[in-house]
Amino acid sequence: MPRTQLELPNEVASELAGPGDTIMKTLEGHLECDVFLRGNVLTLDGAEGEVAMAETVVRELSDLVRQGHEIAPGTIDAIADALDHHESPSRILEDVVWRHRGKRVAPKTVNQKRYVDAIRQQTITVGIGPAGTGKSFLAVAMAVAALSRREVNRIVLTRPAVEAGERLGFLPGDLMAKVDPYLRPLFDALYDMLDPERVNQYLERGAIEIAPLAFMRGRTLNDSFIILDEAQNTSPEQMKMFMTRLGFNSRMVVTGDVTQIDLERGQRSGLVVIGDILGSVEGIEFVRFGGEDVVRHKLVQRIVEAYDEYASREQRS
């Protein structure tokens, strides 16, 4: 069997030999050849084609480390995913959407890269897929980046409050207190991107507006970056209402998971029908994520896959 030995820069060898051999184990899990690291020499044993692929992956890792990327299991997942799709891993992982206090937000899969590119290039982007695929998080990062560059004057974040049937008056407190349980995931994403003081300043000035979908009716949103989250819980009528709020110099991102619809049985989801209605409309792009795009804990990815398999079996029976 062909054997290739690669002499790695010290910083790359150090990353690969990190705590608990986590990176080496992940690397071995993605490669169809044996991998050994001794000092700063990496040995690859296996079939010729597999060794060549492994060498490409290691060289991509080396380039990323030299450019300051932290190597994590998700990084290797992204490299393997990119190579499977004949894409350049560096092109994906170097597309930093937002930086804040050393935190970098960047796509980690090919589909996430396509999603980010669609948001940049299209007026309306629809991201559909399971939890953990970064739909909302990346959309909020893109919105914060656009606001910081003054490409828009405000960010508008909204979700349908289906659990309360949009009747928020029964909940205690002012509007923010009433909608907080529904919009908390969007707040969490914002606080990941910005200091709490800055978020509060933006909220007070109206540069960031967070409201339930019911409060969008009758408005036209100009110079805004608008995100509709959990869109699977909209009715077709609500979805049409939301889409027609679009004003000049604005962008919209719609995100949702059609496998987690909380509407009453028999009620159609606006996210399900939107593809049939708007799929061929210029200026709107649909990006569909799968279980392979889940970038949370590995167990989350396995849970998503198990539920998908169960749903397929139920459909067949």
pLDDT band per the 50, 70, 90 thresholds, residue 19: low
pLDDT above 70 for 272: yes
Name residues whose C-beta falls within 8 Å of residue 73's C-beta, 6 or more positions apart in sequence.
22, 23, 26, 298
3-class DSSP state of 34 = strand
Q: Assign 53 a pLDDT band (cuts: 50, 70, 90).
A: confident
| Contact status, residue 7 vs residue 16, Cβ threshold 8 Å | no
Show Cβ contacts of residue 315 under 8 Å, excluding neighbours closer than 6 positions: none
Question: pLDDT tens digits for 228-238?
Answer: 999 999 999 99
Q: Please answer whether residues 248 and 224 qualify as being in contact, where contact means their C-beta atoms are separated by less than 8 angstroms.
A: no
Whole-number Cα distances in Å, 88 to 36, 84, 110, 264 = 25, 10, 9, 44
Q: Cα separation of 121 and 129, whole Å?
A: 20
> Mean pLDDT of all residues in the chain?
83
Query: pLDDT tens digit string along 212-266?
Result: 888 898 999 999 999 999 999 999 999 999 999 999 999 999 999 998 888 888 8
* pLDDT band at 297; cut points 50, 70, 90: low
In the chain, domain spans: 3-94, 99-316
Q: What is the pLDDT of residue 182?
A: 66
Question: What average pLDDT does range 115-124 have in this prediction?
Answer: 96
pLDDT value of position 127 = 96
| Sequence-separated (6 or more) residues with CB below 8 Å from residue 112 | 92, 133, 134, 138, 289, 293, 295
Q: What is the 3-state secondary structure (H, E, C) of 283-316?
A: CEEEEECCHHHCCCCHHHHHHHHHHHHHHHHHHH
The tokens for 252 are 């919209």
pTM (predicted TM-score): 0.73
- C-alpha pair distances (Å), 48 with each of 16, 32, 54, 303: 23, 10, 10, 35
What the block records as the tokens of 242 is 């939301």
Q: Which tokens hold the place of 194?
A: 């910005």
CA angle 304-310-315, nearest 5°?
125
pLDDT classification of 54: cutoffs 50, 70, 90: confident
Cα(40)–Cα(44) distance, integer angstroms: 13
Residue whose structure tokens are 């409309």: 281
Per DSSP, the three-state class of 154 is: strand
Query: Which pLDDT belongs to residue 176?
Result: 58
The candidate with the shortest Cα–Cα distance to 187, out of 243, 229, 215, is: 229
Q: Does domain 3-94 have CATH number 3.30.43.10?
A: no
**Cβ pair 80, 44 in contact under 8 A:** no
pLDDT at 208 over 80: yes
CATH number 3.90.550.10 given to 99-316: no
